[in-house]
Amino acid sequence: MTTRRDFLRNAGATALAAGLASRAQAGIPEAMIQDKPGTQGPRHPVDGPSYHPVVTLNGWTLPYRMKDGVKEFHLVAEPVVRELAPGMTAHMWGYNGQSPGPTLECVEGDRVRIFVTNKLPEHTTIHWHGIRLPSGMDGVGGLSQPQIKPGQTYVYEFTLKRSGTFMYHPHADEMVQMAMGMMGFFVVHPKNPDFMRVDRDFVFLLSAYDIEPGSYTPKVSTMTDFNLWTFNSRVFPGIDPLVARSGERVRIRVGNLTMTNHPIHLHGHDFEVTGTDGGWVPRSARWPEVTTDVAVGQMRAVEFTAEAGDWAFHCHKSHHTMNAMGHGLPTMIGVRQDDIAEKIRKLTPDFMGMGSAGMADMAEMDMPLPDNTLPMMSGQGPFGPLEMGGMFTVLKVRDNQPLGDYRDPGWYTHPEGTVARLYTGEEPATVRADAPPVAASDLRVRKPGGHMDH
């Protein structure tokens, strides 16, 4: 039974909630926070034009609020803790609880209003990388706007003139703030939802950090000697798989905010680069690739038709698929270490001699590591150690993957007779090939005697 006191208390609570909602609608939209490192599902539009949403690898899409026909977002620049992979976290700077920050999704022609609150210990700005907008909204501190001081909130407002794949990052103390992880994706969908339509649309950023073993904070003065190469501030085996269904048209959008280029390679497929920083690539200008190089500050969108299997997807610079690699290690291949290792163990019991026959055995060693440090190579697959790290993940394509389902389906079941196998027959004798015959004519070479003949 509801008493008069209960009724008045409930009525008062309802009025208070309505008042708070009214004030919230009139002011800054609520800042949504996400601290889970897993891949969140697509966020479908609830207001405004329709579009096929993206899925951010090990990330999420920021909700927006519609107010008087304008899409409003609220980004908070703040210190965050990011799990790079199970067993290692980093003290970084980011947006709304994560580094990278959440993906912003809009539609060509949208008017957007983006509130940016600074909870960092120093000033900041946001530059909308690749987006055409008024000069005063470009986010370059000191040039196009004052710096956003700690505790302040600034408002950016502009109309999105073209669709494509873009990024956001600071243009204030840029070396430090980007080295600490401040970046995010900005996807603008075509006004026509059938233009460049795909079945699955993934996005992620390339970033690199220098975090000493046993420490937590990136070294912000590092220029080239990074030891952690990441997809969306995650390293393998902490990077989720890209999941698709056989026959689906898949797009992967990659943005590079590291200090070097990355040849991104997909196994088992050929693809076309269908989008760049400048917009969509006409069909007549595309050609098939299996690797595309993404230079510093660039974005690339690739598309392909998914084929069943488990397919490696990674940067093709081999040291970018390793974690916390020591760059001063000597090459020990062919060097016997048995005697010296035994003597060293008398002083350091945990010492292991490594590298005499290569480094593959490191993936299976249970070596003691400093706190908050990942093995250089790790990950287990269905046939044993994967011996990977850094910028590596797996595209998992299944014939029976439900439409719109991004959950990990587990390891692929190969059809009978389609897996490489051990040969157990007799080995043939080694036959040395004859040297090619010498050509009948002599080759005469004249060394230049000066610059007169050049």
**CB neighbour class for 5 (10 Å; exposed up to 12, middle 13-18, buried from 19):** exposed
List the beta bridge partners of residue 390.
236
Q: Is residue 363 part of a domain?
A: no
385: pLDDT strictly greater than 60:
yes
Domain that holds residue 103: 24-315
Element (H, E) at 17: helix 4-26
200 contacts 251 by C-beta, under 8 angstroms: yes
**Which residue, 65, 343, 58, 391, is CA-closest to 229?**
391
Where in 22-173 does DSSP place strands (E)? 55-56, 65-67, 70-85, 88-95, 104-107, 111-118, 127-129, 153-159, 164-169
Whether residue 350 has pLDDT greater than 80? no
Predicted confidence at residue 264, as pLDDT, reads 98
pLDDT at 416 over 70: yes
Write down the residue that tokens 């693809």 correspond to: 271
Q: What is the pLDDT of residues 40-70, one digit of tens each?
A: 999 999 887 889 999 999 999 999 999 999 9
**What pLDDT score was predicted for residue 454?**
45
CA distance 321 to 314: 7
Please report whether residue 427 resides in a domain.
Answer: no
**Number of domains forming the structure of the chain:** 1
Establish if 244 belongs to a structural domain: yes
More confident residue, 183 or 3: 183
Tokens at 197, concatenated: 């339509």
Q: What is the CATH number of the domain that holds 213?
A: 2.60.40.420
Q: Is the pLDDT of residue 18 over 90?
A: no
Query: Which 3 state secondary structure label does DSSP give 273?
Result: strand
Q: Count Cβ atoms below 10 Å from residue 399 Cβ, excluding itself.
A: 8
Distance CA 125, CA 146 (A): 8
- For residues 314 and 224, the model is more confident at 314
Which residue type sits at 68? D
- Residue 329 binned pLDDT confidence (cut-offs 50, 70, 90): low
**What does the pLDDT read at residue 9?**
44
Q: Are 239 and 312 in contact (CB under 8 A)?
A: no
Domain presence at residue 208: yes
- What is the residue-wise DSSP string for 299-312? EEEEEEE--SEEEE
- Count of alpha carbons within 13 Å of 258, Cβ hemisphere only? 28
Per the domain annotation, does 148 fall within a domain?
A: yes
pLDDT classification of 364: cutoffs 50, 70, 90 = low
φ and ψ at residue 218, rounded to 5 degrees: -60, 145
Instruction: Judge whether 393 lies within some domain.
Output: no
Token pair for residue 42? 């697509």
What does the pLDDT read at residue 425? 94
Q: Which residues contact 372 (CB under 8 A, 6 or more apart)?
A: 87, 88, 89, 214, 215, 216
Give the pair of three-digit tokens for residue 83: 């799990």
Query: What does 160-218 look like in DSSP terms, one character per residue?
Result: --S-EEEEEE--SSHHHHHHTT--EEEEEE-SSTTTT--SEEEEEEEEEE---TT--S-
As a whole-number percent, the residues of the chain with pLDDT over 70 amount to: 86
Tell me the HSE value of 52 on the side-chain side, using a 13 A CA sphere: 16
Asked if residue 179 belongs to a domain, the reply is yes
Between residues 343 and 292, which one has the greater pLDDT? Answer: 292
Residue 157, C-beta contacts closer than 8 angstroms, at least 6 positions apart: 70, 111, 112, 113, 114, 137
Tell me which DSSP letter residue 357 carries.
Answer: T
Beta strands 272-276; 228-231: pairing state: unpaired
310 falls within a domain: yes
> How confident is the model over 10-15, as a mean pLDDT?
40
Q: What is the pTM of this model?
A: 0.86
Tokens of 447: 């060394």
